[in-house]
């Protein structure tokens, strides 16, 4: 089953698990994000990737520019190990790693989690690629991919047992939008996927089609 189909199936089941007000709050948050037009300012195809140097799940510094010296890079952003849509996405990306590499691309995933939580994400989903911690949203902010959760959604997440402050190590209540890029070795973005709706992600097959 494709990633797109998996996400659609999970979203349909989620509506049954959390009907009524919860759905209204989550939909309103997406609608407000669309209305803000923040995606218009995000990096897109043709733009240059900024320098990215972040710690990985083991706390070691990784410079994406160093990876670009050897291959193209696929960069995907995720929200956290608490997000089921992100975990479905990460597992689908893991399955596609051999195909990415056969086409001369390395996969790097970036999230706002503290390194310990990134390690949990890596182990839980049996990931073999770099999972980098963008603490305080430094990279996503430079790429105009970050937004702050509205109060109603913060309160709903708390009811769900989601503690962003503990997960991310800050009080900002911010998350990255669903974004995926293919970056050429010269640092130019050759593909972008940007989506306000967190339930939608770039399908690995679409990424492979542009590599």
**Number of domains, the chain:** 1
Radius of gyration for the chain, computed over Cα atoms and rounded to the nearest angstrom: 16
Q: What SS3 state is found at 82?
A: coil
Please state the φ and ψ torsions of residue 52, each to the nearest 5 degrees. -125, 115
Tell the residue number behind the tokens 């790429």, with chain if given.
Answer: 143
pLDDT at 162: 92
pLDDT at 122: 76
Of 174, 160, 5, 31, nearest to 89 by C-alpha is 5
pLDDT at 127: 82
pLDDT at 119: 66
Of 171, 98, 102, 112, nearest to 140 by C-alpha is 112
Segments forming the whole domain that contains residue 61: 3-210
Q: What is the DSSP letter of 50?
A: P
For every residue of 4-72, DSSP letters joined together read HHHHHHHHHHHHHHS-THHHHHHHHHHHHHHHHTGGGGS--TTSBPPP-EEEETTS-EEEHHHHHTTSE
pLDDT at 171: 87
What is the CATH classification number for the domain harbouring 169? Answer: 3.40.30.10
- What are the mean pLDDT values of the chain's consecutive 10-residue runs (211 residues total)? 94 89 94 95 97 91 96 96 94 96 97 79 81 93 95 94 88 94 98 97 97 96
pLDDT at 115: 74
């Amino acid at each position: 089953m494709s990633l797109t189909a998996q996400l659609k199936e999970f979203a349909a089941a989620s509506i049954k698990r959390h009907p009524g007000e919860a759905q209204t709050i989550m939909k309103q948050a997406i609608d407000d994000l669309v209305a803000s037009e923040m995606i218009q300012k995000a990096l897109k195809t043709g733009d240059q990737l900024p320098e990215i140097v972040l710690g990985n799940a083991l706390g070691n510094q990784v410079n994406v520019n160093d990876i670009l010296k050897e291959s193209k890079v696929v960069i995907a952003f995720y929200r956290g190990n608490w997000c089921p849509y992100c975990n479905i996405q990460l597992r689908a990306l893991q399955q596609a790693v051999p195909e990415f590499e056969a086409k001369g691309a390395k996969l790097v995933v970036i999230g706002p989690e503290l390194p310990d939580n990134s390690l949990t994400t890596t182990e839980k989903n049996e990931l073999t690629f770099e999972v980098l911690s963008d603490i305080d949203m430094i990279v996503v902010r430079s790429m105009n991919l970050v937004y702050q959760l509205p109060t109603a959604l913060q309160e709903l997440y708390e009811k769900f047992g989601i503690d962003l402050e503990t997960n991310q190590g800050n009080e900002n209540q911010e998350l990255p939008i669903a974004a995926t890029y293919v970056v050429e070795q010269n640092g130019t973005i050759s593909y972008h996927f940007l989506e306000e709706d967190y339930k939608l992600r770039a399908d690995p097959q679409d990424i492979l089609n542009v590599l």
